[in-house]
Structure 1
Amino acid sequence: MLSLPPVAATWFLLPVALVSFLAAFNDLKRMKLPNPLVIALALVYVAMGPFLLPFDQYLWGFSHGVVMYLLGMLAFAFLGVGAGDGKFAAAMSLFIPLADATAVLTLFAVFLLGAFAAHRALRALPAIRRAAPDWVSWDHHKFPMGLALAGTMVSYLALAIVL
């Protein structure tokens, strides 16, 4: 059972899914996660969280965001992770109670492997590349991690509704 209240997950799901879809698309097309999308995801939490979460859980979310932001910037500086990926992960972490961290990391690992395999397989197909010829991610040496981050976030909220 996940710690995020199912009612909160239900209300968060639609706006978060929209922002996550746009983030994944931007990362595929441009290999960038723009700051306005990171801010939009954080604003969903800021605006809706006080009405959907116990107040202490809502406030703890901000500490999760700060810690993840610092970890993301360290990963950017020393591990080659994109800055946008780190910032998007920080905005995601606002929604995730600490008790659910293991479940979310497991989801992320699954999505990272699946998204990587799917992206590499699809970019090898000429018909797919012709359908999206201007996507920077097809030829980039890095992987568009926003794809895995977006899938993780939306799946986590969906699972929080049903588990």
Structure 2
Amino acid sequence: MVMPEAAFFFLTLPFAIWAAWGDLKRMKISNVFNLTLFGVFLVSGLFLVPLPEYGMRLAIGLAALVVGFVLNARGNLGGGDAKYIAAFLPFVRPEDLSVFFLVLAMCLLAALLVHRTARRTAWVRAQAPDWKSWTAQKFPMGLGLSGALSFYLAMRAFSLPLAAAAAG
């Protein structure tokens, strides 16, 4: 039997690249993107996840959307980022959420360091001079969010130990 995470990894990888690139270039993750990604889970999850777990994953995504809207209203999180998290969280196993959030924190920190270093490097900026993220005060979280989703799914899909990620 195919592990759902292997299929999810390959299904979401183009979306992760699209979100990271779009956030770097335009500082925006569109509603169409988020709805399409969520639609991918709605369809593929029916075939890859047991029905009770499928419902739990959808509920977690809905809860993430509500929390994201609250954080967005408070100015703590961008609207596109909040919707992206809600759209991709159903791809994460419910029992892995605590480990996933650790992976997420590490990926966001790594993305912040890489982005801030890159934007201070003239050669790198010259390769993509029209990217809004070079001059924006806010950080393009889509970069770290995408990294976390892909890294988590790759760990699960290719049987890399999640405990090693949690241990640091």
Deviations 1:51-98 (Å, cap 9, x if unpaired)? 111111111111011100011011111143100000000011112232
Aligned mates of 2:149, 2:105 — CA distance in 1: 12
Aligned-pair RMSD on alpha carbons? 1.3
Give the TM-score normalised by structure 1.
0.94
After TM superposition, give the deviation of residue 40 of structure 1 in Å: 1.7
CA contact (8 A) 1:6 1:160 kept: no
1:17 is the counterpart of 2:8: no
Which residue number in structure 2 is paired with residue 70 of structure 1? 66
Aligned mates of 1:153, 1:52 — CA distance in 2: 17
Which residue number in structure 1 is paired with residue 106 of structure 2? 110
CA contact (8 A) 1:29 1:135 kept: yes
Aligned mates of 2:2, 2:153 — CA distance in 1: 8
After TM superposition, give the deviation of residue 6 of structure 1 in Å: 6.4
**1:2-151 aligned within 5 A:** 7-151=3-147
CA contact (8 A) 1:61 1:94 kept: yes
Deviations 1:113-148 (Å, cap 9, x if unpaired)? 100000000000111111000000000000000001
Gaps of 5+ in 2: 161-168
Deviations 1:5-44 (Å, cap 9, x if unpaired)? 9610111111201011000000000000011111121111
CA contact (8 A) 1:33 1:84 kept: yes
Identity across the alignment (%):
34
Aligned mates of 2:80, 2:97 — CA distance in 1: 20
Q: What is the number of residues matched between the two proteins?
A: 159
In structure 2, what residue type is equivalent to 1:106? L
C-alpha distance 73-6 of structure 1, shift in aligned 2 (>3 A): farther
Give every structure 1 segment of 4 or more consecutive aligned residues whose post-TM-superposition deviation is greater than 3 Å.
none
C-alpha distance 104-6 of structure 1, shift in aligned 2 (>3 A): farther
CA contact (8 A) 1:31 1:136 kept: yes
